[in-house]
Structure 1
Amino acid sequence: MTLITTPFGFSSTAAEVAHGIDLAARRALVTGASSGLGAETARALASTGAAVTLAVRDTTAGERVAKDIAETTGNHEVHVARLDLTDPASIAAFTAAWQGPLHILVNNAGVMACPEQYTAQGWEWQFATNHLGHFALATGLHDALAADGARIVVVSSTGHQQSPVVWDDVHFAFRRYDPWLAYGQSKTANVLFAVEATRRWAADNITANALMPGAVYTNLQRHTGGQGSGRVPAEFIKTVEQGAATSVLLATSPLLEGIGGRYFADCNEAETVDHRTNTLHGVARYALDPAGAERLWTLSEGLLGDRAH
C-alpha cells in the first residue's frame, strides 16, 4: 500500500491547509474545542464556510472561543454544546439532541498522563475519555454521519507506541497504574477505532483516519510539567496553528476522499514500525491490526451496552 503524501509538512498551519477549501453547507463537530488544538481546528473549519459546533465541558469558555472564531473568520455559524466524554448520560443527551446530517467529526478532546482516576463505571480515566467517550459519541451519531457520507478525524499520538491495548487488564485492575502506559493504550485505541470504523461503515461512505498532531504545548500537558518539562526537544515543538494542521487536512483535503483507516503525522501518512522510535513519527503495527480493531469495537460495545451500533 502506497503511503499518502501531500504538499504540506511539519511547519504547515491549519489556515494554510484550509486555504481555498469550500465547505459551505457542510456541518462539522469538534470535541474539546474550548482551547488549544480543538479551538484552532474549529477556526480553520469555520474559515471554509462550514457550520461548526464546539462540543465542550465548559460552555462559558466555549462561548468565548466561538465568539472569537466568528469575529476572525466572519462565519457566524459557530455553535456551542455541552459534552462530558466521561459521562455516558451526557453523551447520550448530546447525540439525541443532534438533528440533521454531520459531515465532519473531529475527536479532538483528550487527557494525557493524568493521576490514577476512574469513572463511576470503574473505567480508567484516560481510556474512558480518549477512547470510550468518543466511541459512544461516534456510534451515537452514526445515522447523522451516514446521512451524506462523513469523515471522522481521530487525534491520537506517538504516545501510542508506549503501549498496545492490554486486553486482559484495560482498566488497571491488576497492573500497577502507570500514567504513560494508560495514555499509550488509549491512543492506540484511537487508531484502532479509525481502522474498524472505516471497515464497518464503508457502505455508509464514512471514513476515519487517526493522526499525531505533533508536540504542542496546550492544557493537555497540565499533568506532565508543561513546557519546562524537557520531554521533547525544542526542534520538535509546534505552534498550536501548526499542530492543528494535520487534523484539518484529514477533515478537508480532496486528497483524502474515500481514504480511511490510516495514521498521519506532519500532514503525511506515517510509516508502519515494529519498534518504538526516537522521533515523533511512525505508527506501531499493532495499532493498525484489523483483528485488534474489531476486538476493541466488541469490547467497547460490551462496556457501553446496547447504545453502540
Structure 2
Amino acid sequence: MTLFTTPFGEESTAAQVLAGVDLGGRRAVVTGAASGIGVETARALAEAGAEVTLAVRNTEAGQEVSRRIPGSRVERLDLADQDSVAAFARRWQGPLHILVNNAGVMASPFARTPQGWEMQFATNHLGHFALAHRLHDALAAAGDARVVAVSSSAHHRAGVDFDDIHFERREYLPWTAYGQSKTANVLFAVEGAKRWAGEGITVNALNPGGIRTNLQRHVSEAELDALRRAASSAGEELRWKSVEQGAATSVLLAASPLVKGVTGRYFDDCHEAPVGQFGARHGVSPHALDPEAAARLWEYSVAELGLQGLSL
C-alpha cells in the first residue's frame, strides 16, 4: 500500500495546514484544550471557521483559553470519570463533524480509578473510547465526520497486554503503561475505521512529535536526558517542536481536504508513517496496526465500559 503524503512536514504549523480551508458550519470537540497542543488545535479549527467546544477537566483554565479563541465554548469533561463522559455526551445536541481525542496523561505515578482501572489506560484510551462511542450518533449525523486520536511515538514501547492491562500482577512501569495506552489509541483508529466507514466517519491516529508542554509534568529532567541520549544513539537529534507545529498533524487529519476519505492510518509530521521504528520518533509499530488486536481491544473496551447497548 502506498503511504499517504502531503505538502506539509515537521516544521509546518497548524495555521499553515489550514490556510484557505473554510470550516464554516462545522462543529468540533477538542479534548484537553486548556493547555499544550490542544489549545493550538482548537485555535486553528476556530480560526478556519469551526464552532469549537473545549472539552476540559479544569473549566477555569478552559474559560481563560476560550476568551482568546473566538467561536469557542467550554464544557467540562473528566476522561477518568465515566459519569463525566456520559454527562458530556448527554449534553451534546446536533451533529458533530470533528472529534479530536487530544487529552492525556504521560508516565504518571501509579494510580487507579474507582473501577480499579490503571489511570493512564483509563484516561488515554477508555475515556476517549467511551466518548467517541457515546457521540457516535452525532458523528454519524454529520455525514462526513472525522475522529482523530492523538497517540505518540511512545507506542513503540509496549503493545496492549491483554492478560494484565491494569497491572494487577506485573510490575507497574510508568512508560510501559503510557506506551500501552498510546498503542490502544492507534488500535482504536484501526478498528473504528472498519466499523464506522459505512456512516462516513473516518478515524485516524497520529504522533504529534516532541513538544514541551504540561504533559511532561511527571517526567524528570533525567528522563528527558535519557530520551535525548537514546535518540542520539539512533542517529537522530531529539528536537522539540513548538505547540503550533505540534498541532499541525492533528488539524490535518481533523479538517484538511487533502485527507478526505483517508481512514484507519497513523501519521507523523503530516505524512502517513511507514511500518517500523525509524529513529526515536518516527514510524508505527506493527503491533499497533494488528487487526486482530484492534478487534479484541474494541470488544474488551465495550464490555469493560458496559457499552453493550451502544456496541457499534
TM-score after normalising by structure 1 = 0.95
Number of the residue aligned with 1:281: 282
Using the TM superposition, give the Cα deviation of residue 150 of structure 1 relative to its aligned residue in structure 2, in angstroms. 0.5
Is residue 106–residue 178 contact of structure 2 (8 Å, CA) maintained in 1?
yes
Match of 1:84 among 71, 78, 83: 78
Matched residue count:
301
For the residue of structure 1 that corresponds to 2:263, the secondary structure is coil
1-structure distance, mates of 2:68, 2:221: 25
1-structure distance, mates of 2:252, 2:302: 30
Aligned ranges 1:109-148 → 2 under 5 Å:
109-148=103-142
Aligned ranges 1:237-252 → 2 under 5 Å:
237-252=240-255
Q: 1:103 to 1:183 in 2, by over 3 A?
A: same
Q: Once the two structures are superposed, what CA deviation does each residue of 1:113-148 show, in whole Å capped at 9, x if it has no partner?
A: 000000000000000000000000000000000002
For the residue of structure 2 that corresponds to 1:147, the secondary structure is helix
Q: 1:182 to 1:215 in 2, by over 3 A?
A: same
Aligned ranges 1:2-151 → 2 under 5 Å:
2-70=2-70, 77-148=71-142, 149-151=144-146
Amino acid of the structure 1 residue aligned with 2:274 = E
Number of the residue aligned with 1:253: 256
Amino acid of the structure 2 residue aligned with 1:223 = H
Match of 2:172 among 177, 189, 192: 177
Q: What RMSD in Å do the two structures reach over aligned CA positions?
A: 1.3
Aligned ranges 1:134-283 → 2 under 5 Å:
134-148=128-142, 149-225=144-220, 229-230=224-225, 231-232=227-228, 235-273=238-276, 276-283=277-284
2-structure distance, mates of 1:295, 1:236: 36
Number of the residue aligned with 2:234: none
Using the TM superposition, give the Cα deviation of residue 235 of structure 1 relative to its aligned residue in structure 2, in angstroms. 4.8
Q: Once the two structures are superposed, what CA deviation does each residue of 1:188-214 show, in whole Å capped at 9, x if it has no partner?
A: 000000011110011110011000000
Structure 2 gap ranges (5+): 232-236
Indicate whether 1:301 and 2:296 are aligned: no
Is residue 249–residue 269 contact of structure 2 (8 Å, CA) maintained in 1?
yes
Q: Once the two structures are superposed, what CA deviation does each residue of 1:145-188 show, in whole Å capped at 9, x if it has no partner?
A: 00022000110000000000001000000000000000000000
Using the TM superposition, give the Cα deviation of residue 256 of structure 1 relative to its aligned residue in structure 2, in angstroms. 1.1
Amino acid of the structure 2 residue aligned with 1:51 = E
Using the TM superposition, give the Cα deviation of residue 278 of structure 1 relative to its aligned residue in structure 2, in angstroms. 3.0
Amino acid of the structure 1 residue aligned with 2:279 = N
For the residue of structure 2 that corresponds to 1:201, the secondary structure is helix
2-structure distance, mates of 1:9, 1:263: 15
1-structure distance, mates of 2:221, 2:69: 26
Is residue 238–residue 280 contact of structure 2 (8 Å, CA) maintained in 1?
no
2-structure distance, mates of 1:266, 1:225: 26
Amino acid of the structure 2 residue aligned with 1:115 = P
For the residue of structure 2 that corresponds to 1:283, the secondary structure is coil
2-structure distance, mates of 1:229, 1:193: 28
Is residue 217–residue 227 contact of structure 1 (8 Å, CA) maintained in 2?
no
1-structure distance, mates of 2:156, 2:224: 20
For the residue of structure 2 that corresponds to 1:169, the secondary structure is coil
Structure 1 stretches of 4+ with a deviation exceeding 4 A read: none
For the residue of structure 1 that corresponds to 2:67, the secondary structure is helix
Is residue 140–residue 308 contact of structure 1 (8 Å, CA) maintained in 2?
yes
Q: Which moved more, 1:26-35 or 1:249-258?
A: 249-258
Amino acid of the structure 2 residue aligned with 1:188 = T
